Chains A and B, each alone.
Chain A
Amino acid sequence: MATVKLKIDGREVEVEKGTNLIEAGKKAGVFVPHFCYHPGLPVVGVCRICLCAVEGRPKLVAGCATPAEEGMSVVTRSAAVREARAAVMEFLLIHHPLDCPMCDKGGECTLQDYTIAMGSAGTRFSFEKNTWPEEDVGGKLILNKNRCILCLRCVNLCKDVAGQDEIAVLSRAEETYIGTVGGRMIENELAGNIADICPVGALTSKDFRFRARPWELQNVKSVCTLCSKGCNTNLGTHPRRNEVVRVTARENMDVNQWWICDRGRGQFTQFHAADRLTAVTRRQNGAAQATAWTEAIPAIASALQGVVSRHGADAVGVIASAELTNEECWLTRRVFRDGLGLANVDYPARTQPPVVYPKFTIEGDRNPNVKGARATGVAPGTGGRSVADIMRAAADGTIRALVFLRGGPLDQFGDAAIAARALDRAELIIVVDATPSPVSAKAHWTLPGVSSAEKDGTLTNSAGRVQRITKAFRRYGDAREEWRILQDLGRALGALSETDPDPERIFDRLARAVPAFAGLSYAALGDQGAPLAAAPANVVVG
């Protein structure tokens, strides 16, 4: 790749040919302000806040639209540049409302930040401001045109990334506005990204409106678990309320660039579902009763061992889960396959129609960790049964005990009628889950697990990239992370000898034991993840 050398405010920097002055500035450590420019969107050059001086050019140039050239000398700190930027700030603010205190963007608003950095405290505009009513534009967004600075990021995201013209620039001159066309609403599933990239509070998320101030939130770096893409996210977490109040996109150029889909954006509602399972529950003679972990784990271990000793290892089926982390998948395999010697271990496939946008795809595989489950050996052993076969065998009485590491709708386990018969007939059903399902309704033991936002761990996406999730809030009631549950059960069954205090230790142990993970360490995964090592990710190990 050809590079060019240039100077920005006297700092020499070498960049790829074609790099614009904003990006070159970033590399040189010189911040060039920008509203309309976004590295993931086409350059429109309209906001004019990135004006820079280039030696030898009579006029200021837009940094976003000016490619770095060999020997170029760029100045961003001259009086002319300062004045031009102050002028643009003043122009942007003449009709902008002073409603920061009640604006959702306040605290993470580019216009607010720049106003503090380079704007004026007063106004010279002595006229009435233009005002517009607020409106619902679909896509879970509310449009407040009073705050809009017409940077066109929203329009270009819809057009360029989602391939839709649901939102457009309308009218002209100072009456120019952003709006939906012909009464149509925004329907594409990437629209939530608009709330992320809107540099002001013009397009805000209906889900997040008035729920918290940005400065109250901690952005916990995580990964979406709604499909196998593994989009990097920030879980906007309110520590005092012990609650994730929003999910926003986190940049990862190897995975999701700057975007996430609206399903993932809405995942926080699942974390805090009203019907979360919070108690260890034992059901006897149809009556459910809360109990304690200390009672449940040994009881479950001995019940499982009892079935194995009375009817053989083939009488137990484990419906594992590719929603669980790599560590949990590995523990699943060690506890049930290696420890109890079961062959009937499998996880249900969960699919959906993929949604393909020009620059973003929502994957068809809903399991976030299929590659990890496969690589750690969550699969039927020799002569072992698949999920559907396990349910069939349970329905006809061959399998007597079922362990579910995630529940779910019955058709997820093959034929729903067969699954229902299996649940009716099995003499021992154990389920680990965070929310109730037809499985937990029938289970003899219900162990409350957690969502992906309540634990640390790693997931391997469909491209074989291992990425970390991070605990954002304290778990509900008696709920416990699945890696803890599996470790406890494993030790009670005599399948495990160690007790690791956290997923980091488990992962590092796993990386030493499973060839596909060779060379990886939890710490080194960082917040951008790393690809599975030498072994192809879909090779079943063990």
Chain B
Amino acid sequence: MAIATFEPVLTKTVQLPDSHTLGVYKKHGGYEALEMALRKSPDEIIDVVKRSGLRGRGGAGFPTGTKWGFVPKNPGKPKYMCVNADESEPGAFKDRLICAKDPHQLLEGTLIGSYAIGANRAYIYIRGEFAAEAAIMERAIEEARNAGYVGKNILNSGFDCEVTVYLGAGAYICGEETGLIQSIEGKRGEPRLKPPFPAVVGLFGCPTVVNNVETLACVPHIVKRGWEWFAAIGTERNTGPKLYGLSGHVAKPGVYEAPMGVSLRTLIDEYGGGVPNGRAVKAVIPGGASCPVLRGDEIDLPMDFDSLTRAGSLFGTGTPVVMDDTACMVRAAWITARFFAHESCGQCTPCREGCGWLQRILWKIETGKGVERDLDILLSVTDNIEGNTICALGDAAAWPARGFAKKFKDEFLRHIREKRCPFEGGSLH
């Protein structure tokens, strides 16, 4: 789909002055969806979201309506909605835009979601480094409360919902949904054993839904314009608009909105203006640092959950990092590994020990001290981490390391043979 034919949904107003204020939001139809939703039953809302085909935008792509449907109707306890605004994977910066420029869109989606699952309290968990966005979010909640959208008896519907901003302390792992829950509870940010899943035993032991910012931002539009409209955008199993955070070696990095399933090449060449200085695309990390790298000759594929999985990578948060032919793939792998080694919560053995090991091997190869056996050990360590951990962080560290080592094996071997990095002075140095 060419750029011109797609009318932005989620980013419609972000370029307007004061887009973060209630006035601007309402001028463009803000909170009409909430009014509509409150006139319907929670089940109807869940049904509409199910039919829309909306899949979670936080990386896993789980159907949102189905997730909401797992929440017990009458658990005899409070229920909670948690908004995951802990966006902190290298490459991902799309949710930040919504928080900063259109907080009411997120808030409206949060309120509708809370209504659908029967939660009277929602927490917006914002990454610790996003202090400015958290302040904007706080102001938006205050505006909404004064206007009767937050608090007791919202719009005379009888539905109560309090929304609280919770600022994290700077841990990537708190973006894992149970790590996020632990953090809100004031505990160490460590993922929990699953089952039980948060829908049954979540925040404070109560049924809880954790949704990504962009996911919830889609909800008001689905309610207002109907699931058929939403489902018509994108591809069959990957519906709706999507925010793509494009970075790396592109002429115009930034957040772009396009339908699910837009071609990665289109994204890079048309939206991002291509690779500068006439250089070639060497590699693309398609959806955040945890997604296995694609070679430059593999980018003619639709950006959606299923296509990326078929290609041996992952859609993740849909935030491609583009690298040109000056970038060293061993160094890129090391940078990625260093991130995960730093962010592992440390509770389970394979991730705690394995991530540090991967980082060491990659640095050894990158600095010209590697031997061929190190490459085998590297791959073996990724195998030994994957699937053996409590949460997906271990996998998220193993996949990219393995991806780089397999996709760019020659480059790894060159480091070993030449006993130095052949890309010294390159763009990642």
Contacts and interface: CB of A to CB of B under 8 A. Distances in A.
Interface string B169-212: 00101000000000000001000010000000000000000000
A47 B193 CA distance: 12
A62 B193 contact: yes
A174 B388 contact: no
Given A173-B355, A174-B355, A150 B346 contact: yes
Contact of A173 (B193, B342, B349): B342
B341 A174 contact: yes
A59 B387 contact: yes
Contacts of A60: 387-388
Interface stretch (A82-90, A136-144, A462-470, A512-520): A82-90
B344 interface: yes
Interface residues of B, number: 32
Interface string B380-404: 1001110111100000000000000
Given A59-B387, A65-B193, A176-B352, A171 B377 contact: no
Nearest to A171: B346
A67 to B, nearest CB: 9
A30 interface: no
Contact of B353 (A44, A92, A152): A92
B201 to A, nearest CB: 13
A150 B388 contact: no
A91 B398 CA distance: 14
A90 B357 CA distance: 11
Interface in B345-360: 345-350, 352-357, 360
A90 B383 CA distance: 13
Given A94-B353, A174-B352, A174-B353, A48 B341 contact: no
Contacts of B350: 48, 87-88, 91
A124 B346 CA distance: 21
Q: Is the interface of A mostly helix, strand, loop or mixed?
A: loop
B142 interface: no
A43 B389 CA distance: 15
Nearest to A48: B349
Contact of B349 (A125, A126, A127, A149): A149
A169 interface: yes
A87 B384 contact: yes
A15 to B, nearest CB: 19
Nearest to B173: A172
Q: Is the interface of B mostly helix, strand, loop or mixed?
A: helix
A152 to B, nearest CB: 8
A312 B188 CA distance: 74
A175 interface: yes
Contacts of B364: 126-127
B150 to A, nearest CB: 34
Interface in A70-127: 83-84, 87-88, 90-92, 94-95, 124-127
A220 interface: no
B360 A95 contact: no
B343 interface: yes
Contacts of A173: 341-346, 352, 355-356
A91 B377 contact: no
Residue of B357, B387, B389 with most partner-chain A CB within 10 A? B357
B12 to A, nearest CB: 40
Contact of A48 (B342, B380, B388): B388
A456 to B, nearest CB: 45
Contacts of B341: 173-174
A45 to B, nearest CB: 5
Given A48-B388, A94-B357, A174 B193 contact: no
A47 B349 CA distance: 5
A49 B347 CA distance: 13
A43 to B, nearest CB: 7
Given A48-B389, A94-B353, A150-B352, A176 B347 contact: yes
Contact of B384 (A46, A91, A172): A91
Nearest to B373: A124
A91 B346 contact: no
A96 to B, nearest CB: 10
30 contacts: A44-B193, A45-B193, A45-B348, A45-B390, A46-B347, A47-B349, A48-B350, A49-B349, A59-B387, A60-B387, A60-B388, A62-B193, A83-B384, A87-B383, A87-B384, A88-B349, A91-B352, A94-B353, A94-B357, A124-B380, A149-B349, A150-B346, A169-B188, A172-B345, A172-B346, A173-B343, A173-B344, A174-B341, A174-B346, A176-B346
Q: Which 7 A-B pairs have the closest CB atoms?
A: A176-B346, A87-B384, A91-B353, A174-B356, A173-B344, A45-B193, A172-B346
Given A125-B357, A169-B188, A172-B345, 17 more contacts: A46-B348, A48-B348, A48-B349, A48-B350, A48-B389, A84-B384, A84-B388, A87-B350, A94-B353, A95-B353, A124-B377, A149-B349, A152-B347, A172-B171, A172-B343, A173-B352, A173-B355
